[in-house]
Amino acid sequence: MKNSDLFFKKRWFPWVIKSGSTLRNNKGFTLLETLVAITILTMATLGPMQLASRMVASARVAQNRIVAFYLAQEGIEYSRNTRDNNFLNSSNGWLDGLDACFGANGCIIDVPNASIVACDTECPDIKYDDSSGYYYNYIKGVPTMFKRVVKITPNVGGNPDEANVKSVVSWKDNTGKKSVVLEEDIFNWR
């Protein structure tokens, strides 16, 4: 074999070079190279996995916030609806049926069961019942992490035709204690 052929084969095809009648031993990956490759692959997969995990956690927090907002809005809407029904039944006072919410501890408004109950000390958790079609109520289902307290302050600023409705939904998840507060003034528009 010529020197130029040997140089060419050594450079481009080192595994083909024969030394005598046996093949030359190929050198594979060393342990250090393997560890470096495993480290690079691990780091390349851990980054996206951590990002995906954080995105799932953020989605869960956003979902809880949306549910809490709608539960708080439901408390306001039910109060407004009761006021409107009192207007249609002109024999009632404009805040009749809402007086359980006048206390310092507020009340629970159970929309699916059409009931308003004053809270003695602390209002109970809202329950989730998938079977009834009424997902959030106080009678039947599994307790959720959400609590709703509705407080109504009549005679705002000394005006007997104005009341302040405050609906607070609070919950605690793995990121801490959170709450959504909605507040609205309703008026006697007779």
Q: What are 89-110's pLDDT values in tens digits?
A: 887 789 999 999 998 899 999 9
Higher pLDDT, 55 or 77: 77
Q: What range defines the domain where residue 88 resides?
A: 47-187
Q: pTM above the 0.75 mark?
A: no
Tell whether 6 is covered by a domain.
no
Q: Is residue 162 part of a domain?
A: yes
Q: Are 148 and 76 in contact (CB under 8 A)?
A: no
Total number of domains in the chain: 1
Task: Say yes or no to pLDDT of 25 above 80.
Answer: no
Establish if 32 belongs to a structural domain: no
Where do the DSSP E strands lie in 32-189? 107-110, 115-118, 125-128, 136-137, 142-154, 162-173, 176-187
Q: Mean pLDDT over all residues of the chain?
A: 85
